[in-house]
Amino acid sequence: MQEYILIPCKALRDGKSRLASILSAAERQALCARLLRNALGLARTLQSARHVRVITPDAEVAAIAAEFGIGRISDGGTNLNEALERGRANILEESGGDAEAIILPIDLPYATADAIGRAKAREFDVVLAADAERRGTNLLYLGNRALPIFPFAFGPGSFARHRSWAESKGLRVDAVDDPRLSFDIDRPCDYERWRRQTGDGSG
């Protein structure tokens, strides 16, 4: 079985729009590039470059990924869930259908290889890590039973939707509670908290 890591990333100039009240467009773009490099480096500690893909419409994102030896799947500028559908189709075709995958967003600055490794090492078909409010899905592992059929439903309330669907299909489901995976930089308060804790919140 082949294990993949999929990193969805919209165009850097469009990222983190919810931080517009505290960061300029250039600062948000620089922050997204920094978070992307962090996620790519983390992915490379978990998996060889040939089994990591960045899903993006952005040539700048693709160029940064290439610095890590990581290839791009073009999503044509679609929304996140449609982009992940394209990514899944790509790796299932490449692997002959014998694959599992981790969906790794770029905005988990405290995520570690150990935290992700423990999540995927469990004997489950679907493993989810919720955000701090247990509403969104921050990290998603899909085993080979779930990967071909799982309906991506990222957005508000995705944690409950993802979990409910998997359970309704009789898949083995687990939820991980780990502060390193539950913290994401989404709102101004998240950014300010990260800046205070790291002492360096610049892009």
Q: What is the pLDDT of residue 200?
A: 62
Percent of the chain residues topping a pLDDT of 70:
98
> What mean pLDDT do residues 113-129 have?
89
- How far apart are the C-alpha atoms of 193 and 197, rounded to whole Å? 6
Three-state DSSP at 123 gives: coil
> What mean pLDDT do residues 78-102 have?
96
For 145-159, the pLDDT digits (tens) are: 999 999 999 999 999
Closest alpha carbon to 107 in 163, 25, 33, 57: 33
Percent of the chain residues topping a pLDDT of 90:
91
Domain ranges within the chain, ordered by starting residue: 2-198
Q: What is the pLDDT of residue 119?
A: 83
Q: What is the pLDDT of residue 138?
A: 97
Is the entire prediction scored with pTM above 0.85? yes
Inform me whether the pLDDT recorded for 12 exceeds 90: yes
- How far apart are the C-alpha atoms of 119 and 14, rounded to whole Å? 30
Inform me whether the pLDDT recorded for 165 exceeds 60: yes
Q: What is the pLDDT of residue 78?
A: 86
For 31-60, the pLDDT digits (tens) are: 999 999 999 999 999 999 999 999 999 999
Three-state DSSP at 58 gives: coil
Kindly give, in sequence order, each residue whose CB lies less than 8 Å from that of residue 170, ignoring residues fewer than 6 positions away: none
Inform me whether the pLDDT recorded for 114 exceeds 50: yes
Q: What is the pLDDT of residue 123?
A: 84
Per-residue tokens: 20:
């517009």
- What mean pLDDT, rounded, does the chain reach? 94
Per-residue tokens: 148:
């071909």
> What mean pLDDT do residues 3-16 have?
96
Q: What is the pLDDT of residue 201?
A: 47
- How far apart are the C-alpha atoms of 24 and 203, rounded to whole Å? 11
> What mean pLDDT do residues 6-28 have?
96
pLDDT-derived band at 95 (thresholds 50, 70, 90) equals very high
What CATH number does the domain located at 2-198 have? Answer: 3.90.550.10
Quote the distance between the C-alpha of residue 127 and its chain's center.
Answer: 13
